[in-house]
Amino acid sequence: MDPNKDNANPTILNPSDLPSRRKGDAISNREDGGTGLFDGLVPTYSYLSDPFDVPPSPTSSEEDSPEAIDEQEIYDLISTISDPEHPLSLGSLAVVNLPDIHITPPTSSRSLISTVTVEITPTITHCSLATVIGLGVRVRLEQALPPRFRVDVRIKKGTHSTDEAVNKQLGDKERVAAALENGTLMGVLRKMLATCE
Amino acid sequence: MPLQISHLANFTPPASTRTWQSQPHPTLPLLATASSDKTVRIYSLTSFNLITTLSGGHKRSIRSVAWQPALRKGDAVLATGSFDASAGIWKKHYSGDAVESLNHGIVSTDENDNDEDDDDDDGEYAFTVLLDGHESEIKSLAFAPSSRLLATCSRDKSVWIWEELDDDNWETMAVLSEHDGDVKCVAWHPAEDLLASASYDDTIRLYKEDVDDWEQVAVIQGHKATVWCVTFEGADLPGLKATPSEELSQAQRDFLIQRAASGPRLLSASDDLSIRIWRREPPADDANAARNTGVPSIIRSSNIDETWLEEAQFPGTHTRAVYSASWSTTSGLVVSAGSDGMIVVYKEQWKSGAEEDVGTEWTVVASIEAAHGVFEVNHVVWAKRWDKGRRSEDEEVIVSTGDDGEVKVWTLEEAVGG
């Protein structure tokens, strides 16, 4: 036991139990016949340089939607982030979980904005690093997703003693922007994100 | 909706990273834009081209800018507030000829200055003062209409008031630590030395000088999340005055008299998606009487306290945080913008209906989605229109500032068929 860690003995999931499209498991897989539930929900915008704007594979949905992003992809982007105090990924610590990721499509036909909501589950209820973990998730998604996504990262209700205060910080654009100009904090975040491909 | 918002121009060249805020100069056709690239761009409101870039003054993002009300014609004094916790004062004076050139959109860029080096006041803006004191990021700053007071606010939960004793000599006049969270925005009353601040603690607070000390005189509660923006109505209460008074009922005239006693109202925009208007209770007669008793008040007089009540909430149009709202001092129209990328214009109108139910309501008169494409709009402000297409002396444009780095100009047009 390391007394310096908030949670010296966390529960660790077996990597083979983590949700992944690569293993062809039960998660919806649009390449395999169009069961991607969210393919049609995300409109396309040709004028944006969009890192996800890859040409559609020949088997993709008939709507020819080139850049559908689903919950599994969001999960893949953030589950490989390292925990700031354990040499383990947020996925294997069950801090991020596929059922706690939600994508909301644009609210009207003229709006271009989709919202990604990620609820994170800190390993223990008073984990002081919850804010840093949440910030890491938000930064990872803001850097990896096209700008039409608004990223909302929250602490899952009831899993943290100060979840509302943490949520408010994570939702504050100005604070997040200032945090990214803080060298010490960026060092921590860079280390956390180094394990993302 | 009788009006529509039409895109007129983008200021060029834009910043390549997030821009936070833009402010038009009070009298010159200049627009200053605060950017996360640690610089301020000063654009011409006549030609929409870049005039100059202020750099080297700050180590981190510049979050906000404010022009000092000009003491002399041609004065351009800009305050910058940065995430590096400091504020800077930049100065330039435009000669009569230079003002003429600006008004006609003849932009003399820095390069041109070198060619025709005949006018020494056409040089660069000089970084004259660094105001140090805040412990963390400065979020907003504002000059009082009297021009010698500057308010700054910060994540350190405090509001500072600085006084310019003489040229370039600024002194801390007050440090107000009433808020329980980041202070996001400060704004001065247009006619009194009354300061408002908005905060992460969901409140708005107002301050006044009492004898020698600045004191909090009111706390406004009501918003359910961070208040991003506060701003006052124009001093001469534009808007409803547009209606000829002979068309008003007696009750409506009484309503306007009551409103005039309250003075300019306060507008706030919040993370709770709402935009609200607050009105000061006119001082009660007995309070006036107490003030005139002639009894010297040893302890702080209670009669400087003010009561501000919620007067209106705007129709809920925004679907994400509202970062900015601006109240036209010319037309009385309000414009708002935020995370959802929308720009919305609202107008105050008399309530239709029963004679005894006299009051006003705000309706949406124009809106546009995706004003900056998929990007968030951080700031929106009314500015006097200066370009060649200006249709009247008092025509205004809307200037929006976004996460895409762009600063855009919009006009209000009569809707086709409307």
Which chain B residues are closer than 8 Å to A168 by Cβ? 200, 225-226
Nearest Cα residue in chain A from B338: A173
Domain membership flag for residue A55 = no
Q: What is the pLDDT of residues A73-101, one digit of tens each?
A: 999 999 999 999 888 999 999 999 999 99
Domain membership flag for residue A77 = yes
Number of domains in chain B: 1
Chain A within 8 Å of B223 (Cβ-Cβ)? Answer: no
CATH number of the domain residue A116 falls in: 3.30.300.130
Are the Cβ atoms of B369 and A47 closer than 8 angstroms?
A: no
Domain membership flag for residue B390 = yes
Are the Cβ atoms of A147 and B375 closer than 8 angstroms?
A: yes
DSSP per residue, B332-383? --EEEEETT--EEEEEEEEPPS-TT---EEEEEEEEES-TTTTSPEEEEEEE
* pLDDT, position B31: 98
Domain membership flag for residue B153 = yes
* pLDDT, position A41: 41
**Could you give the CA distance from residue A174 to residue B137 in angstroms, rounded to a whole number?**
10
* pLDDT, position B290: 46
Domain membership flag for residue A100 = yes
Model pTM score: 0.87
Which chain B residues are closer than 8 Å to A178 by Cβ? 60-61, 83, 136-137, 155
Are the Cβ atoms of B339 and A107 closer than 8 angstroms?
A: no
- Report the mean per-residue pLDDT for chain B: 90
* pLDDT, position B240: 81
Count how many pairs of residues, chain A against chain B, have C-beta atoms within 8 Å.
64
Domain membership flag for residue B192 = yes
Yes or no: say if B138 and B62 are a contact pair by the CB < 8 Å rule.
no
Number of domains in chain A: 1
Chain B within 8 Å of A183 (Cβ-Cβ)? Answer: no
**Could you give the CA distance from residue A186 to residue A164 in angstroms, rounded to a whole number?**
23
Q: Please compute the mean of the pLDDT values over residues B171-186 and round it to a whole number.
A: 97
**Could you give the CA distance from residue B141 to residue B144 in angstroms, rounded to a whole number?**
10
Token pair for residue A125? 């209820």
**In this model, does residue B118 exceed pLDDT 50?**
no
Strands B275-280 and B308-313: antiparallel
Q: Please report, as a single letter, which amino acid is at residue A38.
A: F
Are the Cβ atoms of B374 and A48 closer than 8 angstroms?
A: yes
Chain A within 8 Å of B373 (Cβ-Cβ)? Answer: yes
Are the Cβ atoms of A146 and B184 closer than 8 angstroms?
A: no
Which chain B residues are closer than 8 Å to A167 by Cβ? none
Are the Cβ atoms of B374 and A168 closer than 8 angstroms?
A: no
Domain membership flag for residue B293 = no
* pLDDT, position A106: 87
Are the Cβ atoms of B373 and A181 closer than 8 angstroms?
A: no
- Report the mean per-residue pLDDT for chain A: 78
Chain A within 8 Å of B374 (Cβ-Cβ)? Answer: yes
* pLDDT, position B111: 45
**Could you give the CA distance from residue A108 to residue A87 in angstroms, rounded to a whole number?**
43
Chain A within 8 Å of B139 (Cβ-Cβ)? Answer: yes
| Residues 16-45, chain A, touching B (beta carbon < 8 A) | 45
- Roughly what angle, to the nearest 10 degrees, separates helices A163-170 and A130-144? 30
Domain membership flag for residue A4 = no
Instruction: Tell me how far apart the terminal alpha carbons of chain B are, to the nearest angstrom.
Output: 8
**In this model, does residue A184 exceed pLDDT 70?**
yes
Q: What is the pLDDT of residues A139-178, one digit of tens each?
A: 999 999 999 999 999 999 888 888 899 999 999 999 999 9
Q: Which domain holds residue B149?
A: 3-107+122-284+301-414
Token pair for residue B16? 């390549």
Min CA distance, B61 vs chain A (Å)?
A: 8
Chain B within 8 Å of A165 (Cβ-Cβ)? Answer: no
Domain membership flag for residue B296 = no
Min CA distance, A169 vs chain B (Å)?
A: 9
Domain membership flag for residue A164 = yes
Nearest CA to B349 among B264, B243, B204, B273? B243
Domain membership flag for residue B114 = no
Min CA distance, A119 vs chain B (Å)?
A: 18
Chain B within 8 Å of A105 (Cβ-Cβ)? Answer: no
Domain membership flag for residue A45 = no
* pLDDT, position A44: 39
* pLDDT, position A25: 42
CATH number of the domain residue B257 falls in: 2.130.10.10
Minimal Cβ distance to A181: which of B83, B182, B376: B83
Chain B within 8 Å of A110 (Cβ-Cβ)? Answer: yes
Could you tell me the CA-to-CA distances from A167 to A74, A118, A156, B113, B134 in Å, in that order?
A: 19, 11, 9, 51, 25
Yes or no: say if B16 and B37 are a contact pair by the CB < 8 Å rule.
yes
Low-confidence winner among A24-28, A97-101, B44-48, B399-403 (lowest mean pLDDT): A24-28
Q: What is the pLDDT of residues B314-326, one digit of tens each?
A: 999 999 999 999 9
Q: Which domain holds residue A166?
A: 69-196
Token pair for residue A11? 């529960």
**In this model, does residue A66 exceed pLDDT 60?**
no
* E-assigned strand segments in B284-342: 308-313, 322-327, 334-338
Domain membership flag for residue A56 = no
Domain membership flag for residue B62 = yes
Domain membership flag for residue A174 = yes
Token pair for residue B221? 């509660």
Q: Please compute the mean of the pLDDT values over residues B370-387 and round it to a whole number.
A: 97
